[in-house]
Amino acid sequence: MSTLIRFNLTNQSNTLQDFFFFQEPAVYIGGSNVYSNSIQNISLAPYSSSSSTYTFMINMQFYAGAQQSNTPPVVGQQSGYLSAIRPVDLTPATTSDAQNNSTTLSLSPFGLSVPVADTTAQAGSFRIVSPVFNPSLNNINAGSAVQLGDGSVVLSNFTTVLPNQNLDCQPILKYYIQTGSYQAGTVMNFTSSSLTAAFCDATGGETTFDVAYNIDGTWTVTPS
């Protein structure tokens, strides 16, 4: 059974607040600029008047994701529409032992193939192999996706795919919570949003984060 990362969020301010969750962008080899999406958003009443806690869960299974888009990514807009998602394994340090770490993108029909072993992928990453296509006619995003606790899958961070290339993606298990109303799947500015956000680092094996948004605008994060 897959492990879940759990975030328990409370609003300790005096007013209703909107919050959104996002992940640190993966390390990419191949592709072009890297973009981030919100992976969840919620409105939360003050704890003092509601006693409410919002629990958000992410499956630690790694997913490769690809998505068609009519335009290049724009902050504040949905990143795309038709999506394809595949669970994948990461390439181990001994790359000759790789299994199910590479998937191939197809455009017609749009999708990602059943993963296979690719011993040439970077350690710690999975690979998306792109086909030959005309990038002026097809805008394709691809990268790291996450499965939420309710089973839905969201493209977390991505790059614009270049034709006939290998895209290696090394996901990073670091997550952030910020005030704001970016809906899941909406492109957001990682650099500016992360500066004053709650930081939840799951790279050390922690799977539960109790997060409080304080009345003075700061955060208290308690991992376990």
- Tell whether pTM > 0.85: yes
Helix or strand run (H / E) with residue 219: strand 219-223
Are 60 and 135 within 8 A, CB to CB?
Answer: no
CA-based nearest residue to 184, from 82, 69, 36, 7: 36
Torsion, CA 63, CA 66, CA 71, CA 75, rounded to 10: 0
Tell me if residue 61 falls in helix, strand or coil: strand
d(CA 40, CA 116) in angstroms, rounded, equals: 30
Contact 220, 212 (CB under 8 A): yes
What is the pLDDT tens value at each position of the chain, 224 positions in all?
478 999 999 999 999 999 999 999 999 998 889 999 999 999 999 999 999 999 999 988 999 999 999 889 999 999 999 999 999 999 999 999 999 999 999 999 999 999 999 999 999 999 999 999 999 999 999 999 998 878 888 999 999 999 999 999 999 999 999 999 999 999 999 999 999 999 999 999 999 999 999 999 999 999 99
Euclidean distance between CA atoms 68 and 150, whole angstroms: 24
Q: Tell which residue, 3, 5, 67, has the closest CA to residue 207.
A: 5
